[in-house]
C-alpha cells in the first residue's frame, strides 16, 4: 500500500474552497466519504487502487493536510482540468477525514518539512508517491496529530469536520453505526454480525433521536452510544425504550430476543 500526496491550491484549482466545504458538510451529514472525487496524478505508474492519499493544501492561507482518503481506482486518462490540453491522468478517491482549514489547525507544512525535509510540502506536482520511509513517518505524524486534536474535534460542528466512523469507532465494539437518508429525513442504522447472519437496527427521524438523547451532532450521538450501549444486549434494551417512546424503529435482533415461547 502506497501513500500519495494530492496537492491542492484552492486559489487556482477547479476544486474551490466552497466546493471543499460543501463536500465536507455532505460527508459529515451522510457519514460517507464518497464525494465522487478524482485528482490529477503525477506518479501515475506508482499509484494503485487501495493506496492511502493525503490532500495537502498549499498556497494562500494555512497550509498543511486538510484531508485523508483512500484511492479507489487505477490511474486513467482524462481532460486537463486547467484547460491547457496537457496529457493528464487521474485517480478516484474517497475521503476518510476532512478538516476545515479555516476552523482548525492542520498538520501544517512547516511541521511536515521538519519531519520529512526531502519532500516539497509547499508546492510542486500533485499525486506524488512517498518513499517507504517518508510514508511511515507521515502516518505516525498523522496518528499523533489526530490524538492531539481529539478533544477539539469532539466539539467540532458537522460543518467543520468529517471523520469516517470506521476510523473513530473502537475496534472492540460489537456493532457499527451509520447515518443514512430516508424519506423522513435521516435514520441511524446499527448492525452487528453473528456468524453468517447480519442483524440490524434502524431508527428513523434523526432529529427526534438527537433530542431524546440530549445531543446535537452525529459524533456526539456516536460517543453517547459507545458509552451507554456498549453491547448488543444493551441495544436490545434500547429498542424497547424507543418502542415505549414511540420513536420509529426496525430491529430484527430485538424481535428475535423478545419473542415469547408461549406467544404471550
* Each residue's pLDDT expressed in tens, for the chain with a length of 264 residues: 799 999 999 988 889 999 999 999 888 877 788 888 888 888 777 888 999 999 999 988 899 999 999 999 988 976 765 556 667 888 999 999 999 999 999 999 999 999 999 999 998 888 889 999 999 999 999 988 988 887 788 777 778 888 886 555 555 567 877 777 666 667 788 888 777 777 888 877 777 777 778 777 777 787 788 788 888 778 777 777 776 666 666 767 655 555 444 443
Per-residue pLDDT at 109: 95
pTM of the model: 0.68
Cα 113 to its chain centre, rounded Å, is: 26
In sequence order, the 6+-apart residues with CB closer than 8 A to the CB of 77 are: 87, 88, 89, 90
Per-residue pLDDT at 85: 61
Q: Are 175 and 232 spatial neighbours (Cβ–Cβ below 8 Å)?
A: yes
Maximal C-alpha separation, the chain: 75
Please state, in angstroms and rounded to a whole number, the distance separating the CA atoms of residues 182 and 169: 23
Please state, in angstroms and rounded to a whole number, the distance separating the CA atoms of residues 71 and 193: 27
CB count within 10 Å of CB 3 equals 21
| All three cell numbers of 168 | 473513530
Per-residue pLDDT at 177: 79
| All three cell numbers of 135 | 510514508
| All three cell numbers of 88 | 493528464
Please state, in angstroms and rounded to a whole number, the distance separating the CA atoms of residues 239 and 246: 10
In sequence order, the 6+-apart residues with CB closer than 8 A to the CB of 221 are: 188, 209, 210, 213, 215
| All three cell numbers of 185 | 429525513
In sequence order, the 6+-apart residues with CB closer than 8 A to the CB of 143 are: none
Q: Are 94 and 37 spatial neighbours (Cβ–Cβ below 8 Å)?
A: yes
Amino acid at each position: 500500500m502506497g501513500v500519495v500526496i494530492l496537492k491542492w491550491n484552492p486559489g487556482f484549482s477547479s476544486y474551490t474552497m466552497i466546493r471543499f466545504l460543501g463536500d465536507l458538510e455532505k460527508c459529515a451529514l451522510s457519514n460517507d466519504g464518497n464525494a465522487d472525487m478524482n485528482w490529477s496524478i503525477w506518479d501515475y505508474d506508482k499509484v494503485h487502487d487501495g493506496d492511502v492519499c493525503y490532500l495537502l493544501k498549499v498556497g494562500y492561507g494555512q497550509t498543511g493536510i486538510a484531508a485523508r482518503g483512500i484511492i479507489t481506482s487505477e490511474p486513467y486518462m482524462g481532460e486537463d482540468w486547467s484547460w491547457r490540453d496537457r496529457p493528464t491522468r487521474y485517480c478516484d478517491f474517497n475521503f476518510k477525514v476532512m478538516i476545515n482549514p479555516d476552523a482548525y489547525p492542520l498538520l501544517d507544512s512547516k511541521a511536515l518539512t521538519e519531519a520529512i525535509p526531502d519532500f516539497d510540502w509547499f508546492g510542486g506536482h500533485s499525486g506524488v508517491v512517498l518513499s517507504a520511509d517518508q510514508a511511515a513517518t507521515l502516518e505516525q505524524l498523522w496518528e499523533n496529530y489526530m490524538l492531539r486534536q481529539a478533544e477539539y474535534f469532539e466539539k467540532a460542528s458537522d460543518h467543520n469536520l468529517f471523520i469516517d466512523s470506521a476510523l473513530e469507532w473502537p475496534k472492540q465494539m460489537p456493532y457499527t453505526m451509520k447515518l443514512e437518508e430516508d424519506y423522513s429525513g435521516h435514520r441511524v442504522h446499527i448492525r452487528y454480525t453473528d456468524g453468517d447472519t447480519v442483524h440490524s437496527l434502524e431508527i428513523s427521524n434523526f432529529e427526534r433521536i438527537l433530542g431524546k438523547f440530549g445531543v446535537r451532532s452525529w459524533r456526539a450521538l456516536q460517543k453517547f452510544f459507545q458509552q451507554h450501549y456498549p453491547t448488543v444486549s444493551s441495544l436490545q434494551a434500547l429498542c424497547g425504550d424507543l418502542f415505549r417512546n414511540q420513536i420509529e424503529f426496525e430491529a430484527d435482533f430485538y424481535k428475535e430476543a423478545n419473542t415469547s415461547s408461549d406467544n404471550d
